[in-house]
Amino acid sequence: MTKILAAVVQLQSTEEKSRNVDTAARLVTAAAQRGASFVALPELFNCIGRWEAVVAEAEPITGPTSRRMSELAANLGITLLAGSIAEQSEVAGKIYNTSLLFGPDGRQLACYRKRHLFDVDVPDRVTVRESEFVMPGEEIVGTQLPDFTLGQSICYDLRFPELFRALADRRADVIAVPAAFAFGTGCDHWEVLLRARAIENQAFVIAPNQHGRHTPTLQSYGRSMIVDPWGTVLATAADGESFALAELDFQRLQDIRRHLPALAHRRDGQ
Ligand SMILES: O=C(O)CCC(=O)C(=O)O
């Protein structure tokens, strides 16, 4: 198959896990009913807010949220990227920020833990110290699916082109960037970075984002989007809880790589 329909689901999650998971399931179902066979949820879709609350709600990989997502994927017969959840770690008081991938039979196909942690202090925009609560992942994850190879990242990872190049080296055709991208930086950087990563790695970029205020001091930018390997934005979610759909045409991907073989022109294997 050279074309599939993909969807990015945009949420305004809170610390209320059951509401978040129900909303995620409702929007994933609606996207699948519109024909999407690959649906992606944003970062920390099941619980976001104060870090202490997120850590308290952490689950093992085979916990209730992942069981629900696995059943959802199987019932709808879709491939589902469960954006990310707080995963219990071996260190007290710390989690992994973990993205799980489920196949149309409900099987877990991949697990990626956010490698780059958002520790920044940008005056009047955003101050975060993710590493106080989150352990960094180590593995780079590319997974071959029947129609394409998926590379995984999460949010702040977007600023590290070497990760995306490593995914291109694993032959990623589609790179997922589930995010709760801070409003204060997202308004200037989100779209530019997504389009740059798509163009330089000649891959589709699927970027479901959180939108709006999660707490009085935590706000995500929204504008979930799907970008093609030419850097064209194929679809953008409207503000609020919604989803956006776009066709991924893998013949077009091959044509772009053939006509403009920049990845083959790299020097010294870099
Ligand atoms: O890179 C940025 O500016 C935003 C990243 C972010 O919000 C996150 O990783 O949670």
- ipTM for the predicted complex comes to 0.99
Model confidence, pTM? 0.98
In a domain, 14, yes or no: yes
| Pairing of the two strands 38-40 and 79-88 | parallel
Cβ(204) – ligand 1 distance below 6 Å: no
* 3 state DSSP class of 222: coil
In a domain, 258, yes or no: yes
Nearest to 131 by CA among 117, 142, 121: 117
25-70 pLDDT per residue, tens: 999 999 999 999 999 999 999 999 999 999 999 999 999 999 999 9
How far, CA to CA in Å, does 168 sit from each of 125, 161, 232, 242? 32, 10, 18, 29
User: What's the gap in Å between 3 CA and the centre of ligand 1?
Assistant: 31
The total domain count for the chain is: 1
In a domain, 254, yes or no: yes
In a domain, 69, yes or no: yes
In a domain, 194, yes or no: yes
Catalytic residues: 43, 114, 155
Cβ(51) – ligand 1 distance below 6 Å: no
**CB distance 177 to 206 below 8 Å:** yes
In a domain, 270, yes or no: no
Cβ(97) – ligand 1 distance below 6 Å: no
Name the residue at shortest CA distance from atom 6 of ligand 1.
181
Nearest to 69 by CA among 99, 112, 34: 99
Determine the atom of ligand 1 nearest the C-alpha atom of 185.
3
User: What's the gap in Å between 156 CA and the centre of ligand 1?
Assistant: 4
Determine the atom of ligand 1 nearest the C-alpha atom of 118.
9
Domain holding 241: CATH number?
3.60.110.10
Range of the domain at 97: 3-265
Determine the atom of ligand 1 nearest the C-alpha atom of 181.
7
Residue 1 banded pLDDT, cuts 50, 70, 90: low
In a domain, 23, yes or no: yes
How large is the average pLDDT for residues 224-235? 98
In a domain, 196, yes or no: yes
171-215 pLDDT per residue, tens: 999 999 999 999 999 999 999 999 999 999 999 999 999 999 999
